[in-house]
């Protein structure tokens, strides 16, 4: 992965030195997760590759292929506008059935969220939607603030979603920087939501910074 984690605040970059924030990060994901870079130069080609992989050997679903491609590109562009760096989609299978899940990695610029983890947790707990859980995961690379919420689909959902979605967000302070790296996971697998969140915890906890 390649991502410039230095916030763009309009100022001239400082000379390289020990005070510089890390320039990149690494995540360990299951083998069946597909990475989609969100830069405009890479998004369309990456989505095309994902759709072709999903529908390999299937020639009678052109409408479904177009719909999935359109939805992925739309989500990718929206995520990029919000500071998204990367988008991952699970292509794992549990026997004959897919295990749907996704991850969006976003760089949150300095601002009101640039707080110490416990202050951020208090802020998120006070302002979040009804039923959202907030906790702190202690890791060697630093404390991670985690939020979790289960959302029922709206009757007129434009994406056609009919299943409850479990979302888990992980906020990590970028070392030596006021910016935050946000990992946003979601899955519609309500019966095994606990297991999926354990997987999300493990992925978020695997993050390491590259100097």
Top-confidence residue, 158 or 202: 202
Give the pair of three-digit tokens for residue 177. Answer: 């920087």
| Mean pLDDT, range 191-201, rounded to an integer | 94
Q: Identify the DSSP state of 16.
A: S
Q: Identify the DSSP state of 45.
A: H
Position 130 scores a pLDDT of 81
Question: Around Cβ 16, how many Cβ atoms within 10 Å?
Answer: 8
- pTM for this entry: 0.82
Q: Tell me the angle at which helices 40-54 and 62-81 cross, rounded to the nearest 10 degrees.
A: 150
Position 156 scores a pLDDT of 56
* pLDDT > 60? residue 154: yes
The confidence band for 177, taking pLDDT boundaries of 50, 70 and 90, is confident
Of 21-25, 101-105, 139-143, which has the strongest mean pLDDT?
A: 101-105
Q: Identify the DSSP state of 192.
A: G
| Mean pLDDT, range 7-23, rounded to an integer | 59
The C-alpha atoms of residue 92 and residue 32 are separated, in whole angstroms, by: 5
Cβ partners under 8 Å of residue 9, min gap 6: 109, 110
């Amino acid at each position: 992965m390649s991502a410039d984690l230095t916030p763009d605040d309009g100022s001239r970059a400082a000379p390289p030195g020990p005070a510089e924030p890390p320039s990149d990060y690494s995540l360990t994901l299951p083998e069946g997760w597909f990475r989609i870079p969100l830069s405009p130069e890479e998004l369309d080609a990456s989505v095309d590759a994902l759709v072709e992989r999903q529908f390999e050997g299937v020639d009678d679903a052109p409408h479904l292929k177009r719909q999935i491609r359109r939805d992925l590109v739309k989500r990718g562009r929206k995520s990029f506008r919000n500071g998204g760096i990367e988008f991952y989609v699970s292509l794992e299978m549990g026997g004959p059935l897919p295990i749907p899940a996704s991850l969006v990695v976003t760089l949150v610029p300095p601002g009101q969220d640039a707080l110490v983890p416990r202050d951020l947790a208090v802020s998120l707990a006070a302002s979040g939607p009804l039923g959202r859980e907030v906790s702190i995961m202690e890791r060697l690379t630093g404390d991670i603030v985690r939020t979790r919420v289960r959302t029922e689909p709206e009757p007129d959902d434009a994406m056609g979603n009919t299943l409850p979605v479990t979302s888990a967000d992980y906020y990590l302070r970028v070392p030596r920087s006021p910016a935050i790296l946000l990992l946003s996971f979601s899955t519609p697998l309500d019966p095994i939501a606990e297991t999926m969140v354990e997987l999300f915890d493990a992925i978020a906890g695997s993050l390491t910074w590259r100097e």
